[in-house]
Chains A and B, each alone.
Chain A
């Protein structure tokens, strides 16, 4: 039997808004919950995210997105 690999969820973050440090921070934080990979193309940070528990993937993706925003704002001094 061939098991089909789950399709990773793709999140794109606009470079005009988000900073690389914010994406890296989120990648580091969520590495234990999901397999993540990062690519950069056409002004976007592209994150491929496959949760180790697929049932939680949407929730993890939402939290990941918020984490990137929060880390970006922290880097820019907006959260102070």
Chain B
């Protein structure tokens, strides 16, 4: 199958004159595109998180050609064009970066999130504010009825009830 594939290499320019570096190499098939991801750059969690987002749009097949590398094969669910496949691979690569950033933000804010959650559930201030709210509700219930609608079970009006 691989031999029928066309090997494509995207090259990035370098600031040093006319020296190019291969940055994103992929193989293009009729309805599919495959590329290998370096796991020292993108971790497994980011790759899986990205794959999950693409499950509804294409068929995915992951394999590990060698240690530290993960190969992703995206197969379009419908007839498509090479341009659309290129765009799909580009979206995948961008989403990988997005997932990495999300992970880093999640890790860097983990302690503060845990602190907030701890405060919310176990802090004394929260208990006090809940008690204050309950006391306020009780006070409202005990206050006089502003519309002064008499009800038969109200003891204060019982003098007229029996008469």
Chain A window 15-33, contacts with chain B (Cβ cutoff 8 Å), 1 for yes, 0 for no? 0111000000000000000
A17 (CB) vs chain B CBs: closest residue: B62
CB distance from A19 to the nearest CB of B (A): 11
Q: Which residues of A contact B52 (CB under 8 A)?
A: 70, 73, 78-79
Q: Which of A17, A66, A73 contacts B63 (CB 8 A)?
A: A17
A40 in the interface (beta carbon within 8 A): no
Contact residue among A12, A16, A69, A79 (Cβ-Cβ distance under 8 Å from B60) = A69
Interface residue tally on B, bucketed by range: 10 to 19
Kindly provide the distance from the CB of A77 to the nearest chain B CB, expressed in whole angstroms: 10
Contacts of B62 in A (CB 8 A): 14, 17-18, 69
Q: How far apart are the CA atoms of A76 and B49 in the complex, in Å?
A: 11
1/0 per residue, CB under 8 A from B, across A52-80: the answer is 00000000001101100110010010110
6 nearest A-B residue pairs (beta carbon)? A62-B59, A78-B48, A16-B64, A14-B64, A17-B62, A73-B52
12 interchain pairs (CB within 8 A)? A12-B63, A14-B62, A14-B64, A16-B64, A17-B62, A17-B64, A63-B59, A69-B55, A69-B60, A73-B48, A76-B48, A78-B52
List residues of chain B with CB under 8 Å of any chain A CB: 45, 48-49, 51-52, 55, 59-64, 70, 75, 77
